Structure 1
Amino acid sequence: MVAQLKYLSDAALAQLKGAVISNVARYKADGFLEFADDPGWNIGLGVEYDEGLLGTLDRSTPRTVAAIDLANSRIVGKALANLSPTLANEERIWVRLSHIEAFDYTRERWIGQAGDEAVPKLVEAHFFASGQTKIRDDHALSRLWWNYQIARTCNPDDPDEALSLILKTADIRSNFVERIWMTSRRNIASAVLGLMKSEPWVTDAEKNFRIFMKSLNRLGGGIVFEVLDTNEINLFLKDCLSHARTLA
Structure 2
Amino acid sequence: MSRIHVLRKQTLDELENRVVSGEGIPRYLQPGPFDFLPEQLLEFPHEPQQDAPTLMLEDGRRGRASTDIENALKIYEWLGPMSETEARDERLWAWLAHVPFADYTRSRWPVPTDAKQARDSIFDHWFVYHEGRRSLRRHAIGRLWWAVHLTRAPWEYDDALAPLRKDDPYAYTRMLLGNQEVFFHTLEREFGSNRRILIALLEVIDRFRARRAPTPLVKWLAKEVNLACRYRELDLLPIEELLAFMEAMAALERESTAGT
Specify if TM > 0.5: yes
The answer to whether the Cα contact below 8 Å between 1:148 and 1:159 also exists between their aligned partners in 2 is no
Q: Which residue of 1 aligns with 2:109?
A: 110
Q: Which residue of 2 aligns with 1:177?
A: 187
The answer to whether the Cα contact below 8 Å between 2:57 and 2:108 also exists between their aligned partners in 1 is yes
Q: Deviations over 1:76-111 (max 9, x none)?
A: 222212332211111111111111111121122223
Tell me which moved more, 98-107 or 42-51.
42-51
CA–CA separation in structure 2 for the residues paired with 1:142 and 1:200: 27
Q: Which residue of 2 aligns with 1:246?
A: 255
Q: Does residue 251 of structure 2 align to residue 234 of structure 1?
A: no
Do the aligned partners of residues 121 and 51 (structure 1) sit closer, same or farther apart at CA in structure 2, a change above 3 Å counting?
A: farther
Q: Which residue of 2 aligns with 1:56?
A: 54
The answer to whether the Cα contact below 8 Å between 1:98 and 1:106 also exists between their aligned partners in 2 is yes
SS of the residue corresponding to residue 46 of structure 2 reads strand
Q: CA deviation at 1:7?
A: 0.6
CA–CA separation in structure 2 for the residues paired with 1:203 and 1:177: 22
Describe how 1:169-248 pairs up with structure 2 within 5 A. 169-181=179-191, 183-184=193-194, 186-201=195-210, 204-217=213-226, 222-248=231-257
Describe how 1:12-51 pairs up with structure 2 within 5 A. 12-20=11-19, 21-35=22-36, 37-40=37-40, 42-49=41-48, 51=50
Aligned residue identity for 1:208: L
Q: CA deviation at 1:225?
A: 2.8
Q: Which residue of 2 aligns with 1:163?
A: 173
CA–CA separation in structure 2 for the residues paired with 1:76 and 1:239: 36
Q: Does residue 153 of structure 2 align to residue 143 of structure 1?
A: no
Do the aligned partners of residues 17 and 231 (structure 1) sit closer, same or farther apart at CA in structure 2, a change above 3 Å counting?
A: closer
Aligned residue identity for 2:190: I
CA–CA separation in structure 2 for the residues paired with 1:147 and 1:203: 24
Aligned residue identity for 1:138: R
Q: CA RMSD in A?
A: 2.8
Q: Deviations over 1:11-42 (max 9, x none)?
A: 1111111223333343222455432x4211x2
Do the aligned partners of residues 104 and 62 (structure 1) sit closer, same or farther apart at CA in structure 2, a change above 3 Å counting?
A: closer
Q: CA deviation at 1:162?
A: 0.6
TM-score, structure 1 normalization: 0.82
CA–CA separation in structure 1 for the residues paired with 2:242 and 2:193: 15
User: Once the two structures are aligned, what percentage of the paired residues are identical?
Assistant: 22
Aligned residue identity for 1:149: H
CA–CA separation in structure 1 for the residues paired with 2:179 and 2:224: 20
Q: CA deviation at 1:223?
A: 2.8
CA–CA separation in structure 2 for the residues paired with 1:168 and 1:203: 16
SS of the residue corresponding to residue 47 of structure 2 reads strand
Describe how 1:120-135 pairs up with structure 2 within 5 A. 120-130=119-129, 131-135=131-135
SS of the residue corresponding to residue 243 of structure 2 reads helix
CA–CA separation in structure 1 for the residues paired with 2:211 and 2:148: 21
SS of the residue corresponding to residue 43 of structure 1 reads strand
Give unmatched runs, 5+ long, in structure 1.
none
Give unmatched runs, 5+ long, in structure 2.
157-164
Aligned residue identity for 1:133: R
TM-score, structure 2 normalization: 0.78
SS of the residue corresponding to residue 46 of structure 1 reads coil
Q: Which residue of 1 aligns with 2:159?
A: none
Aligned length, in residue pairs: 241
Aligned residue identity for 1:34: D
CA–CA separation in structure 2 for the residues paired with 1:151 and 1:88: 15
CA–CA separation in structure 1 for the residues paired with 2:8 and 2:154: 34
Q: Which residue of 2 aligns with 1:67?
A: 66
